[in-house]
Amino acid sequence: MSSKKRTRYTIIVSGGGTGGHYYPALAIMEAIRQRSSELPASLRIDCHYVGSSFGIEARLAPQSDFPCTLIPVRGFSRYMTFKAQARNLLLPFRLLISFIRIALLYRRLDPVATVATGGYASAIPGQLSNLRHIPLFVQEQNAYPGVTSRLLAKKAMAFFYAYEAVKEHIRNDVLFIRSGNPLRNAIRRIPREEARKKMDLKNDVFTLFVFGGSQGSASINRYLAKRIESWIYKYGIQVLWQTGESSYAELNRTLGTNPNIRLMKYINEMSAAYSACDMVISRAGALSLAEIEQLRVPAILIPLPGAAGNHQYFNAKTLEALGCAYLIEEKEFPNNPFTPILNAMIRDPQQLEKMRAAFPEREENAADGIARNILNRLQSFYAWS
C-alpha cells in the first residue's frame, strides 16, 4: 500500500462461481460499508468485488451497487469430452489474462486488504495480496475447506469459519475465528401472507419449497418430477420449486400446468421463498444451511454427492444432530426414503414446531462480526486514527 496519507481506502472482496461463494462476499461488503460509517470521520472504506465471468456473479454482481471486476477464470474440468478438454487448453491463457487484469486493478486501487470467500476467482487476488504484503482474510463456508481456501490460509491474517471440522484440514499456523456464515441483510423473515403473495402461492395451503442450490439440481429434479404430483394429491400441498436454468424447460413442459406447482428458474427473493414455505427440500451447501438456520425452516437435506471432502454431508449432519433437519443421501433414492419423513413433517404440526424450536440461537450477525474484526485489525495494522 502506498505510504501517502489518504482518507479513502479500498478493500478487495473476491469469491464466486456459485452463490455459496458470491453471497458471503456480498454480505461482507454490505457489513463493511455499514461498519465503516463508525470509523473516525477522516476514514472511509470502499469495497471492490472480484469474481468470475463464468460464475453466477456474472449476472448478479453488475446489479449490485458495488463496483466489480470479472475475470475469465474457471476451474479445471475433469470430464473427458472434447468441449471440456478444449476448455482446459484455454486455462493457462485465461489465468494469464486474469492475473494481468487483477495486477492492474491492484496498482490502480492500491487496496489495504483482500477478503477471499472461496472459488477460483479468489485465488489470484489472494496470491497478489500476499505478493504485495497486503493483509489477507479468508472466509470458509463449509466443514471441508475448498482448494483456494486451503491455499490462501497459509498467509492469512485471519481465517473465519463456520464449522469446527474445518480445522482438521488446515495444517498451517492460522488464526481461526469462528464467525458463522455471513448472510445478506435481505435474508430475513417476512409475514407469511405477504411472502406467499410475492411467490404467487395460495395463502392457506401447506407449502413445500424445493431448492437444489443456486443452479438447481438435475438429479433432485428428476427424482421429484416422478413423485411430486402424487405427493400433492396425497398430502394436499402446494410446491414452490426453483429448478435452475437447465431443468426448467422440461419440468415446465411436464408439470407447468399443475396449479399447485410454482416453477421458477431462479429466485431472487429468497426471504420470501423461505417465509412462504412450511418446509424445504434442499441441497446442503453451507450458505443454504445458514439461510435455513436463520429463518428456522424445517428441512430435508440431500447432500451433493462428490462434493469436496463430502462436505455437504457433514454440513447436513450438523443440523440433523440438532433435530431441525432430516438427512437423505441420493444413494437412498431407490428405497423411497421420503414417505415416512413427509408423513412425520406434514401430518404432524407438532413435529414441525419441535424442529423449528431446535435451531440454535445466532449470537451475532456473522457478516457484521467479520466486518468488525477486519476493520479493527486494519486499524491496528495501519495505525489509523
Which pLDDT band, with edges at 50, 70 and 90, does 192 fall under?
A: very high
Which pLDDT band, with edges at 50, 70 and 90, does 268 fall under?
A: confident
In a shared domain, residues 54 and 152: yes
The predicted model gives 268-296 an average pLDDT of 92
**What pLDDT score does 310 carry?**
80
The answer on pLDDT for 77 being more than 60 is no
The mean pLDDT of the chain is: 88
In a shared domain, residues 207 and 334: yes
pLDDT digits (tens, 9 = 90+) for 306-346: 777 788 898 898 899 999 999 999 999 888 899 999 999 99
Q: Is 286 domain-assigned?
A: yes
Among 45-54, 71-80, 282-291, 344-353, the minimum mean pLDDT is found in: 71-80
In a shared domain, residues 236 and 308: yes
In a shared domain, residues 86 and 176: yes
**What pLDDT score does 16 carry?**
87
The predicted model gives 63-74 an average pLDDT of 90
In a shared domain, residues 25 and 95: yes
In a shared domain, residues 172 and 212: no
CA–CA distances in Å: residue 247 to residues 59, 60, 255, 265, 346: 19, 20, 12, 8, 27
- Beta-sheet strand order (sheet of 299-301): 261-264, 238-242, 207-211, 279-282, 299-301, 325-327
**What pLDDT score does 3 carry?**
45
Which pLDDT band, with edges at 50, 70 and 90, does 264 fall under?
A: very high
In a shared domain, residues 170 and 22: yes
Most confident of 133-137, 139-143, 346-350: 133-137
Which pLDDT band, with edges at 50, 70 and 90, does 228 fall under?
A: very high
pLDDT digits (tens, 9 = 90+) for 203-219: 999 999 998 866 668 88
Which pLDDT band, with edges at 50, 70 and 90, does 54 fall under?
A: confident
The answer on pLDDT for 201 being more than 90 is yes
For the chain, the distance separating the N- and C-terminal CA atoms, rounded to the nearest angstrom, is: 17
- The phi, psi pair for 144, rounded to 5°, reads -115, 115
Q: Is 148 domain-assigned?
A: yes
In a shared domain, residues 227 and 258: yes
**142/193: higher pLDDT:** 193
Contact 51, 12 (CB under 8 A): no
Contact 312, 167 (CB under 8 A): no
Q: Domain count of the chain?
A: 2
pLDDT digits (tens, 9 = 90+) for 12-38: 999 988 888 999 999 999 999 999 888
pLDDT digits (tens, 9 = 90+) for 114-139: 999 998 899 999 999 999 999 999 99
**What pLDDT score does 160 carry?**
96
In a shared domain, residues 171 and 233: no
**What pLDDT score does 182 carry?**
92
**What pLDDT score does 215 carry?**
66
Q: Is 160 domain-assigned?
A: yes
The DSSP code sequence of 293-326 is HHHT--EEE-PPTT-GGGHHHHHHHHHHHHTSEE
In a shared domain, residues 13 and 103: yes
Q: Is 125 domain-assigned?
A: yes
The answer on pLDDT for 185 being more than 90 is no
Q: Is 133 domain-assigned?
A: yes
Which pLDDT band, with edges at 50, 70 and 90, does 11 fall under?
A: very high
Domain limits for position 24: 8-183+365-382
Q: How far apart are CA 362 and CA 376, in angstroms?
A: 22
CATH no. for residue 252? 3.40.50.2000
Q: Is 1 domain-assigned?
A: no
pLDDT digits (tens, 9 = 90+) for 146-162: 889 999 999 999 999 98
Q: Is 253 domain-assigned?
A: yes
Contact 113, 132 (CB under 8 A): no
Query: What's the predicted TM-score (pTM) here?
Result: 0.82
In a shared domain, residues 276 and 207: yes
Residue whose grid cell is 419441535: 354
In a shared domain, residues 246 and 324: yes
Q: Is 2 domain-assigned?
A: no
